Every structure is written in structure tokens, then in C-alpha cells.
Amino acid sequence: MHAIPSLSFRRLLDAPLSRGLTLLCVGALIAWATPALAQNFTPRDESPEDFPAGAGRDETFYACTACHGFKLVAQQGLSRAGWEDSINLMVRRHNMPALDEADRARLLGYLEATYPPRAPAARGGWQNPFSKQ
């Protein structure tokens, strides 16, 4: 069995940041900001439980959120081959560490089962605003 923590490097966001530092930054911002738009943005905190349960969910979540939100993953609807291509792309082009066979299979299992090709995709495609389904 895979221990979930073996893939978990995401919770870092929860760790407290020194308050002094935060205040300092905000102060600096106000000093040289052009109006409202100049401030930075804190992504909302995602957690594995926000996404459909399934074998491999937590490992997939932690493996795929080192660089970007899981929402980017959950937006997709891909075949197993499409997911494989995506993982290869992350490794080849975006600095993702290569996965060993077991981790790879586990991630693919979850992705394939949870986010298969479907139309319309997650939130995309055209949806009838009056439809009750």
C-alpha cells in the first residue's frame, strides 16, 4: 500500500508566515502601488477532499499541486493516453520529477477514472441555464 504522505508536499501553504514579513510587504505595496490592481493574489487553499473520492486521489492531488492548482487538472477530461501525455509533458517541459512505475500507475488510475473524456467538459461547453438536470 502506498502511504499517502509519501506524495504530500503541498500542505506547506498552511505553515504560518512570519507576521512581520507580511506587514512589511503590505506596507511596501501601499507605498508604490498604482491603485487597487497592484496587489498580489493568494490562491484559495485546495484540499484533496474538494475533489471526487477514489483510489489514488490524495497522491494525485499532492503530486499535481506542487506547481499549480488541482482545478487545472480537474478541468480536463482525458483518456488514459491523454493523461499519460499530460504527465510526460509535465516531466519533459515543466520540471516535474519523474514518477516511478507504481506512483505513475496510481495517479493514472485516479485521473482516468475521475476525469475521463466527456462532453461538455467539467464546466466548459455550453450548458443550458434552464435545464433542471
Partner 1 sequence: MAQETGRQGADLSRDGATQTVASVDRGRRGFLGGSGLAAIGAVIGSGMPFSDTLVPAASAQGTAPAKGPQHLKYPGKNEGLVVLGERPLVAETPESLLDDDTTPTEKFYIRNNGQIPEPAKDPEAWKIVIDGEVNNRLELSLGELKSKYRIATRRMVLECGGNGRSAFSPPARGNQWTNGGAGCAEWTGIALADVLKAAGLKSSAKYTAHYAADLHLSGDASKPSLSRGVRIEKAMDPYTMIVWGMNGEPLPNIHGGPVRLVVPGWPGSASQKWLTRINIRDKEHDGAGMTEFSYRVAIKPMVPGEKGDPKNFRILESMPVRSLITNPANGAKFSAGTKELKLRGAAWAGDLTVKAVDVSTDFGATWHKAGLSKPKNKYDWQRWTATVKLPSDGYFEIWTRATDSKGVMQPHQAGFWNPQGYGGNAMHRIAVLVG
132 binds partner 1 (CB under 8 A): no
Q: Which residue is listed with cell 501525455? A: 85
Among 46, 104, 112, 113, indicate the residue that binds partner 1 (CB under 8 A).
46
User: Which is it for the CA torsion 28, 32, 44, 58, positive or negative?
Assistant: negative
From the list 3-11, 13-21, 84-92, 124-132, the region that binds ligand HEC by CB under 6 A is: 84-92
Cα gap 2→31, rounded to integer Å:
50
Among 13, 53, 91, 105, indicate the residue that binds partner 1 (CB under 8 A).
13
Nearer to ligand HEC, 24 or 67 (CB): 67
Cα gap 115→43, rounded to integer Å:
23
The CA distances from residue 26 to 29, 30, 32, 36, 39, in Å, are 5, 6, 10, 13, 9
Cα gap 85→47, rounded to integer Å:
25
Q: Which residue is listed with cell 480536463? A: 76
Nearer to partner 1, 5 or 55 (CB): 5
68 binds partner 1 (CB under 8 A): yes
Here's the x/- map for ligand HEC, 59-78, by CB under 6 A: it reads as: ----xx-xxx---xx--x--
Nearer to partner 1, 55 or 120 (CB): 120
Binding interface with ligand HEC (CB under 6 A): 63-64, 66-68, 72-73, 76, 86-87, 90, 94-96, 107
